[in-house]
Amino acid sequence: MKTTTITISLVLLALLVSLPARADSPATCAPTSGTEDPTRLLRQITLDLYGRPPTEAEYEAVRTAGDVSDALLDAMLEDDEHLAELGRYHRALLLDTTTQLPNLSAPRYTLVTAGSGANRTLYSRIAAGTVRGEVGLSCANVLHDRFDATGAPIALVESWTVGSPIRNAAGDRASAPLAGTGASCTAADPCRIDGYVEVEPYWAPGTTVRVCAFEAQDQPTAIDSRGDTRQCDPRAAENSGTSGVASVPGCGCGPGLAYCTPSSSDELSRDLRAAIEEEPIRLFDDVVRNRRDYYEALTTRDTFVDGRTSRYLRNGGGGVIYEAGSGAAALPYDAGWRRVTRSAEHAGVLTTMAYLIRFTSQRGRVAHFRQSFLCLPFPETPLPPTEAEPPVDLTQRGGCSGCHVAIEPATQYWGRFRTNLDYGAIGTGDLSLDALEDASSNPLAAPCATCGGSGKCPEYCDLYYFTATNTPTYARDLVGHLQVAAFDWGAAGTDDDRARFEGGPRAYVESSLALGTVDAPSPIESCLVRRRVESLLHRSVFADEYAWIEELALAFRDTQDHDFLALERAILTDPRYRRIGSPSGGPMPIEDCASGRATAGASEVMTRGCAGCHGDDLAGGTLGISGRNLTQLGGWSDAEITNAILRGTDRGGRPLCDAMARYETLGMSPMAACDVVAYLRSLPPIERDIPDTCL
């Protein structure tokens, strides 16, 4: 996409808002009714598309041209700066997956840090209970130099208690492990202590990190507690669909720590987590930038990987069952982003790693899809009364059925995708629709109907099937059935159920689009249009604008081929977006704000960024922009304050400077302005004499 010459200049912006208005600026900031000030329109569009005010050069270009031309608007829509802003829009649509991602899935261990600085060492708090004898106990700060003939580490101290010296073969000593108390390491039950080794991790090739020797083991096999030889690779066939080798002490993180992941709080994982979050945003950007059907972003088999995500997928991030069709090409760690094609079950953003591990359950995935893409959030309802034997089927449970009659069938769309922080699709041979009827078709599911009688069921069974260990005794007839299918499998809707299961999330999108008629858009189209309209108007749509939403959605479908930028253009050129309102300085419809809500006003002040000009305490401006002291407005009437907020005028009706937004044009209602007034009047006065440069 070609970048236009419209660029940001913070220096020019600071000068612009701190100097008096130019002689050739419009006489008023708010035009009279029926006219359209091109510089004001430019400000509005630039704030909405770029997330910043125009530069002086951009203002000057529009003053010279006399309007915001169609060509300029098209260039702004296709500009990289706007497309980057759309990335932030789509991050919000996905509920900001970066900050809400849980710990990344690790087939073996999640590694945390012991020590600091030069002594910084990675280890597993949980594995420490198995390999050392106390959860949270790390290795010692000495180089590990004792290994057996196979290369497996031998403990530096086999029977360690608090206070005992720790010494390696070279004679280096440590007084205690780097982390953990050792309180449970008694003479009757001592602990085993190792040292650290240097390893080149898969997530940072060309560098080394210190790792406790027990966790760093890379032998291909080890002996488990029953004396059986086990493959240490969690992706090996014998480990698929079970808890794998998580409790085999002789199995570590593997070559290059391939089976482990640094903790989400560790700086080593930040780069990887950023890459995982970027994948769905790149999918949206690719579709929007190239002006293809927007819903391809939700249905395509294609995605993007780079060296970071490729290494993670190939080294265990694809879940306990490695998904060969994930598109994880073998890329160098520093390789840039490239397009790959995933297995047939995949559907755009809805099956990216970020989406599947952000929403770890099938119900969570359905709830997010309904809220973000269908505008059908579930209402909050009180908890149902306690029942002695509540139905396992939530579509039949009191207080739950209202939502779950919609949720449960829709979970089948993600029925082939892993849950519980694992990523990827489960192949047809690994997930049986009819485990009871034909358990031989899926060896992993074979034990699910009979396990649990005298112990635990395999993790795979408990995750995806009803088993004796996860099902109440009064509902044992469900045992052996796939969880997403058990309630209505075999009923009249069988064909629909199977179609959802086999069609995957792509079928959810396509069936949602198919609900449209010749004269009415589908709910998924209306929702997308409504969300973008509300984001550009900075308010909810009014009741009398619903027809406009439907008109935009029909055009989006019928004449724009779901081109997102064409939709934005239609919104930005509509009079409803450009509507100015009544003339500057006219009487306010609300003469007093006695009903204003201070709490709501505080939220408006924060989200509108008022502190940028008026200071963090609202008692005077900063950053070269000197807005007045808003804690001392005793002489101003409610109508005068709301006029200043909504229309940018002073007490005499004269326009304030360009830096003062006209919030009426940004979607603020008179009632919201009254909320701000109530909040400002609730603030204790602060004595600060700062000249108001915005008059």
pLDDT of residue 325: 46
623 or 249, greater pLDDT: 249
Task: For residues 156 and 140, give the distance between their C-alpha atoms in angstroms, rounded to a whole number.
Answer: 9
Task: For residues 235 and 404, give the distance between their C-alpha atoms in angstroms, rounded to a whole number.
Answer: 35
pLDDT of residue 436: 37
231 or 58, greater pLDDT: 58
pTM of the model: 0.69
Which of 13-27, 478-492, 613-627 has the largest mean confidence?
613-627
pLDDT of residue 99: 52
Residue identified by tokens 């709830």 is 367
357 or 659, greater pLDDT: 357
Instruction: Give the three-class secondary structure for 360.
Output: coil
494 or 147, greater pLDDT: 147
Averaged pLDDT, 492-505: 74
pLDDT tens-place string over residues 175-219:
999 999 999 999 999 999 999 999 998 777 788 999 999 999 998
Residue of 445, 447, 452, 444 lying closest to 472 (CA atoms): 452
pLDDT of residue 107: 66
Q: Worst-scoring range by mean pLDDT, 36-45, 245-254, 481-490, 632-641?
A: 481-490
* Rounded CA Rg of the chain: 31
Averaged pLDDT, 571-592: 63
Residue 156 reports pLDDT greater than 90: yes
The count of other CB atoms within 10 Å of the CB of residue 203 is: 22
174 or 692, greater pLDDT: 174
Residue 613: DSSP 8-state: H
Residue of 285, 292, 295 lying closest to 521 (CA atoms): 295
Residue 673 reports pLDDT greater than 50: yes
| E strand map for 2-58 | none
pLDDT of residue 558: 95
How would you list the strands of the sheet with 209-212, edge to edge? Answer: 196-199, 209-212, 121-123, 109-114, 260-262
CA angle 369, 370, 374 (to 5 degrees): 105
Residue 373 reports pLDDT greater than 90: yes
Q: Render 173-185 in DSSP notation, one character per residue.
A: EESSBSS---TT-
Percent of the chain residues past pLDDT 70, beyond the cut = 75
Task: For residues 446 and 443, give the distance between their C-alpha atoms in angstroms, rounded to a whole number.
Answer: 5
What tokens were used for 441? Answer: 């078709």
Averaged pLDDT, 677-685: 90
Residue 33 reports pLDDT greater than 50: no
pLDDT tens-place string over residues 389-421:
777 666 666 666 667 777 888 888 998 887 766
- Mean predicted lDDT score pLDDT of the chain: 79
Averaged pLDDT, 309-316: 70
pLDDT tens-place string over residues 78-104:
999 999 999 999 998 987 654 555 556
pLDDT of residue 52: 92
pLDDT tens-place string over residues 596-633:
888 878 877 876 778 767 877 888 765 455 678 888 88
pLDDT tens-place string over residues 273-302:
888 889 999 999 999 999 999 999 999 999
Residue 323 reports pLDDT greater than 60: no
Q: Worst-scoring range by mean pLDDT, 410-414, 527-531, 561-565, 657-661?
A: 657-661
The count of other CB atoms within 10 Å of the CB of residue 129 is: 16
What tokens were used for 199? Answer: 């390893």
pLDDT of residue 217: 94
pLDDT of residue 489: 46
pLDDT-derived band at 46, boundaries 50, 70, 90: very high
Residue 500 reports pLDDT greater than 90: no
230 beta partners: 222
CA angle 641, 647, 648 (to 5 degrees): 75
pLDDT of residue 666: 67
pLDDT tens-place string over residues 161-174:
999 999 999 999 99
pLDDT of residue 223: 82
